[in-house]
Amino acid sequence: MNLTAYSQRCSGCKACLLVCALENFGLNNPKYGALNIIQHFPDPGTFEVKVCTRCGTCKDVCPTGAIEMGDNGFFRVNSEECIGCRACVEACPEKVIRFIVEKNVAFTCTGCGECVRYCPREAVTDASGEVARA
Amino acid sequence: MKGDPAKIRVTLSAMGHSAQYFPGGSGKVEIYVTPPRTLEGILEDLCVAKDLFMFALVEDKKVGFDYVPRDGDEVVLVSPVMGG
Amino acid sequence: MKLGGYMGKILEVDLTAKKSRTFPTGEDLIRDYVGGRGFVAKLLWDLVPRGADPLSPENVVVIAPGPLTGVFVPASGKVHMGAKSPATGGYGDSNMGGHFSPEIKYAGYDALVVRGKAEKPVVLVIDDDKVSFEDAGDLWGKGAITAEKILKDRLGEDFQIAVIGPAGENLVKFACISHDFGRQAGRTGVGAVWGSKNLKAVAVRGSRTIPVAQPKEAFSKAKEMYKTCFHKPGFKTWTPYGTAEVVDWVNKVGAFPTKNFSTTYFERHNRINGQSLKERILITDKGCFGCPTPCGKYSRAQTRLGEVLVEGPEYETIALLGGNVALGEIEEVAYANRVADELGLDTISAGNVAAFAIECFEKGLLSREQIGRNLSWGDLESVVYLLEKMARREGIGDLLAEGVKVASEKIGGGSERFAIHVKGLEWSGYEARWAPAMMISYITCDVGAHHNRSWAITFDVAKGRDSLEGKADKAIELQHIRPLFDVLGLCRLQWVEIGFELENYAEIFPMVTGLGYSWEDLIKVSERIWNLTRAFSAREIPGFGRSFDYPPARFMEEPVPDGPAKGKFLARESVDRLLDDYYAKRGWTKEGIPTRSKLSELGLDFVAEELEKDGYSI
């Protein structure tokens, strides 16, 4: 899984954010989606899509060592060790880490691929070709 | 008629709300026609008004009603839409 | 089972007192009206005092998402905006896409009710539970797009904002509400009602999760729904063009509004169609919330008056601010579109009003002195001049701001014949002289001459365009199905455009809500709402009924002069036959008022009592 964003294809619909939050937490709340859709309107009229680049900043700033790389190469937050300080949320350069209030835990992209499967525009893709749009 | 070597097989499917006005109401028919026959002519044979559709697609490419289908073509007829 | 899709409460705001409170979303309200348009209709019936002036503090604004809004279901971003209409004096509502509607749900509300009038211009800011009234003094007079940008910069990009332009502030009867730099609740003058309340904008931000009754089932069904959309043949080919795609077809069937509906075929249609938009001005597709097939097109257009960025133009704008004023280049239509959007004018009504003014000038009913300049068809300067004047109510604009019905009554000279409206609402983009099913759809539409309740022109094409047979039945069928999307809080274009099956919605509705309604049950809800909105207009408009259901004389007496529909018109006798048939099938009196027995059948006895009080024989 090699998550890659094509901003020029995005229509700003946010389906990616909803499917992300539902797949990972069963919560119908796009504010919990681990992607960042930025709109530049009215001028110049473009969308910008940010996804996890696996840069590791979150792991570096976590004071309890709750964030570790998983088998698939994406970081995971250990909910037992997360103290809810939100240091990772603040530090993430792409602003794609969320804090899930209901679970009191930070959430980083798990590489589940659901955004790739359900982005109607193929604006989020898997460059490795393992995952494709449904 | 199936099996008639002089005929070609064409599948017509209607996309959108005009599908309900297709024979049988299913929005899809498979027919055998003697070529060359235009799409307009085929629709006439089926008693379907061509004005029910904006245009047709063959292999995702737009074609007009003067298009002459080839054997095995799957023609998609696109219903008009309304604005918001 | 616990209900899902609902947040459980409604926010009521009193602008006069600058106070707000919440009340629970009633079980009866949910059971009988479900949401969205249903909530708008019932809350307006309950809360608008009988006989209220639409532009007085007494009028009530209701803003309602539906139970599926903001939920993972394709295209769940629609909101219904209602008020007693200043254009018609009767029931008024308008539907808008974008991201405003889901945000209301995430903030925790099933509807917003706004009453009273602020002393000075305000922005209503709703940030989850926190409700505040921010001074809008510096925004008053600013264009809708400009004001939205200022508010985004001030409050934060994550606020979703609905805003009015100068037209709303100046109480123009066809002022719209704008959102997301190009989405509008355009019709029935809802923007003027906001203006009358000194309400410049509503900004909403929410952080909550929407509960879902059967989360696993609904999630899996929704995934299947998206996947089905992705694999419809039109998914790839329709989306790039959006609603502009239909321009050529409407011309082909002789239904395109041209030069104030004097004819129905515009020879320059291929300069203002979907292909022109895509090849000449498109920057990006712009989708509403959760939309698999975004019809929104964001464009950059260069004209001799300058360059504009605009969302659109979509079909209705191309029809009314294109063909109807004879603008023959997509760039010019885009320019007029942007001017109207910034001023906060409904492009449908504004296009009608501009065309009406040009025809009045041509016929010598309005002079150069009265107007302040010469007007001509196909002239961008004329159109922009008129839009500016009407939005600011300057000079002739003060009269034009009343809409074509009132303007024609004042101008006289037979101009009523070509004032193209029903009930005071200007006609949208499908001329119907040779389309009886479309005609009965337009004249019986609850808010006036609007297409989106029933769009039946293909039924005319399929069943014979000269025949009146079965046309009323089709209009009624569609008047129940199509507004149901406005009840659920969804967009209907996936169904209309790419043939996405209705069964999908029937299947996911109970999974999300926990309400065990079948599709037939939902259609019954839709019929209940239809009768209630009709009754609202009967309650509010003295002598309401049949006489309000006729098209302009142009459509009944003037044969179409050229094009595919040449020679066609729908004589008054035919209109009468359609109306008789329609009323009978609806269970309404010959005067077009719902009967007591029909109202009883729908659980609307309380409505029957009110109508009887008003002296209607039902």
The CATH number of the domain holding residue C571 is: 1.10.599.10
Q: For B8-78, which CATH superfamily applies? A: Beta-grasp domain (3.10.20.30)
**Contact at CB, B83 and C499, closer than 8 angstroms:** no
d(C-alpha C103, C-alpha C297), whole Å = 22
Q: State the average pLDDT for chain C.
A: 97
According to the model, what pLDDT value does residue B81 have? Answer: 78
User: Once rounded to an integer, what is the mean pLDDT over residues C152-177?
Assistant: 98
- Per-residue pLDDT reduced to its tens digit, C125-149: 999 999 999 999 999 999 999 999 9
pLDDT tier for residue C197 given thresholds of 50, 70 and 90: very high
- Do C390 and C456 belong to one domain? no
In a domain, residue A103? The reply is yes
Which one of C238, C243, C253 has the shortest CB-CB distance to B51? C253
According to the model, what pLDDT value does residue B19 have? Answer: 87
According to the model, what pLDDT value does residue B16 have? Answer: 83
pLDDT tier for residue A29 given thresholds of 50, 70 and 90: very high
Q: Per-residue pLDDT for B84 more than 60?
A: no
Q: Per-residue pLDDT for B72 more than 90?
A: yes
- Per-residue pLDDT reduced to its tens digit, C421-444: 999 999 999 999 999 999 999 999
Q: Per-residue pLDDT for B22 more than 70?
A: yes
Q: Kindly tell me the sign of the dihedral angle through the C-alpha atoms of C584, C586, C587, C593.
A: negative
User: Once rounded to an integer, what is the mean pLDDT over residues C470-495?
Assistant: 97
Residue C427, SS3? coil
Instruction: Return all residues near C337 (Cβ < 8 A) that are at least 6 apart.
Output: C308, C310, C312, C313, C317, C321, C347
In a domain, residue C234? The reply is no
Chain C interface, best mutation among B13, B46, B62, B81, by max C CB count within 10 A: B81
User: Once rounded to an integer, what is the mean pLDDT over residues B13-19?
Assistant: 86
DSSP track, A45-97: -EEEEE------HHHHH-TT--EEE-TTSSEEE-TTT--S--HHHHH-TT---
User: Once rounded to an integer, what is the mean pLDDT over residues C346-350?
Assistant: 98
pLDDT tier for residue C474 given thresholds of 50, 70 and 90: very high
B in contact with A (at least 3 C-beta pairs within 8 A): no
Strand partners, C19: C14
- Per-residue pLDDT reduced to its tens digit, A48-90: 999 999 999 999 999 999 999 999 999 999 999 999 999 999 9
User: Once rounded to an integer, what is the mean pLDDT over residues C481-490?
Assistant: 98
Inform me whether the C-beta atom of residue C294 falls under 8 Å from chain A C-beta atoms: yes
Our measurement of the distance from residue C136's CA atom to the centroid of its chain's CA atoms, rounded to an integer in Å, reads 26
Nearest CA in chain A to C227: A134
Q: How far is C223 from chain B (nearest CA, A)?
A: 21
Q: For chain A, what is the domain count?
A: 1
Phi, psi of B62, deg, nearest 5: -70, 135
In a domain, residue A134? The reply is no
Q: Per-residue pLDDT for C24 more than 90?
A: yes
Q: Is C153 exposed, middle or buried (0-12, 13-18, 19+ CB in 10 A)?
A: exposed
Which one of A38, A45, A101 has the shortest CB-CB distance to C284? A45
Q: Residues of chain C with pLDDT > 70: what percent?
A: 100
**Contact at CB, A29 and C181, closer than 8 angstroms:** no
Q: How far is C462 from chain B (nearest CA, A)?
A: 6
Q: Residues of chain C with pLDDT > 90: what percent?
A: 97
- Do C441 and C415 belong to one domain? no
B55-69, C192-206, C267-281, C413-427, range with the lowest pLDDT: B55-69
Boundary-marking domain end, from C375, C391, C426: C426
pLDDT tier for residue B2 given thresholds of 50, 70 and 90: low
Which one of A38, A43, A117 has the shortest CB-CB distance to C309? A43
Q: Judge whether C508 and C73 are in contact, CB under 8 Å.
A: yes
pLDDT tier for residue C306 given thresholds of 50, 70 and 90: very high
Boundary-marking domain end, from C426, C451, C469: C426
User: Once rounded to an integer, what is the mean pLDDT over residues B3-29?
Assistant: 86
According to the model, what pLDDT value does residue C240 have? Answer: 86
- Do C333 and C365 belong to one domain? yes
In a domain, residue A130? The reply is no
d(C-alpha C351, C-alpha C487), whole Å = 28
Q: Is the peptide bond before C313 cis (omega within 30 degrees of 0)?
A: yes
- Do C501 and C396 belong to one domain? no
In a domain, residue A70? The reply is yes
In a domain, residue A128? The reply is no
d(C-alpha C120, C-alpha C198), whole Å = 6
Which one of C145, C215, C289 has the shortest CB-CB distance to A13? C289
Q: Per-residue pLDDT for C318 more than 80?
A: yes
- Do C441 and C422 belong to one domain? no
Instruction: Return all residues near C473 (Cβ < 8 A) that are at least 6 apart.
Output: C581, C585
Inform me whether the C-beta atom of residue C298 falls under 8 Å from chain A C-beta atoms: yes
- Do C364 and C477 belong to one domain? no
Q: How far is B71 from chain C (nearest CA, A)?
A: 20
Inform me whether the C-beta atom of residue C500 falls under 8 Å from chain B C-beta atoms: no
**Containing domain of residue A116, as a range?**
3-122
**Contact at CB, A45 and C296, closer than 8 angstroms:** no
**Containing domain of residue C356, as a range?**
257-426
Q: Judge whether A49 and A7 are in contact, CB under 8 Å.
A: yes
Q: Per-residue pLDDT for C236 more than 90?
A: no
Inform me whether the C-beta atom of residue C296 falls under 8 Å from chain A C-beta atoms: yes
According to the model, what pLDDT value does residue B5 have? Answer: 78
d(C-alpha C41, C-alpha C405), whole Å = 25
- Do C77 and C97 belong to one domain? yes
Q: For chain C, what is the domain count?
A: 3
User: Once rounded to an integer, what is the mean pLDDT over residues C28-38?
Assistant: 98
Q: Per-residue pLDDT for C345 more than 80?
A: yes
Q: Per-residue pLDDT for C66 more than 70?
A: yes
**Contact at CB, C209 and A29, closer than 8 angstroms:** yes
- Do C155 and C18 belong to one domain? yes
Residue C457, SS3? helix
Q: Which of A10, A2, A6, A37 is nearest to A121 (CA)?
A: A10
Phi-psi region at C51: left, alpha or beta (left = phi > 0; alpha = psi -120 to 50): left
- Do C475 and C401 belong to one domain? no
Q: Judge whether C372 and C318 are in contact, CB under 8 Å.
A: no
- Per-residue pLDDT reduced to its tens digit, C71-111: 999 999 999 999 999 999 999 999 999 999 999 999 999 99
| A-C contacts (CB, under 8 Å) | 99
Q: Residues of chain B with pLDDT > 90: what percent?
A: 58
In a domain, residue A19? The reply is yes
Phi-psi region at C219: left, alpha or beta (left = phi > 0; alpha = psi -120 to 50): alpha
User: Once rounded to an integer, what is the mean pLDDT over residues C362-382?
Assistant: 98
Q: Judge whether C93 and C40 are in contact, CB under 8 Å.
A: yes
Q: Is the peptide bond before C561 cis (omega within 30 degrees of 0)?
A: no
According to the model, what pLDDT value does residue B83 have? Answer: 58
pLDDT tier for residue B20 given thresholds of 50, 70 and 90: confident
d(C-alpha C13, C-alpha C118), whole Å = 11
In a domain, residue C197? The reply is yes
- Do C588 and C457 belong to one domain? yes
Q: How far is B65 from chain C (nearest CA, A)?
A: 13
- Do C476 and C415 belong to one domain? no
**Contact at CB, A8 and C284, closer than 8 angstroms:** yes
**Contact at CB, C248 and B54, closer than 8 angstroms:** yes
- Do C420 and C441 belong to one domain? no
Q: In this prediction, does ipTM exceed 0.95?
A: yes
In a domain, residue C538? The reply is yes
Q: Is the peptide bond before C257 cis (omega within 30 degrees of 0)?
A: no
**Contact at CB, B81 and C243, closer than 8 angstroms:** yes
Q: Per-residue pLDDT for C408 more than 80?
A: yes
According to the model, what pLDDT value does residue C239 have? Answer: 86
Q: Per-residue pLDDT for C152 more than 70?
A: yes
For the domain that residue A66 is a member of, what is the CATH number? 3.30.70.20
Which one of C71, C283, C287 has the shortest CB-CB distance to A45? C283
Q: What letters, b where the CB count within 10 A reaches 16 and e where it falls short, cover C46-65?
A: ebbeeebebbebbbbbbbbb
Which one of C219, C230, C298 has the shortest CB-CB distance to A134? C230
Q: Report chain C residues whose CB lies below 8 A from the CB of A118.
A: 223, 226
Which one of C149, C219, C289 has the shortest CB-CB distance to A14? C289
d(C-alpha C195, C-alpha C180), whole Å = 19
Q: What is the dihedral of CA C387, C393, C394, C397, to 10 degrees?
A: 50
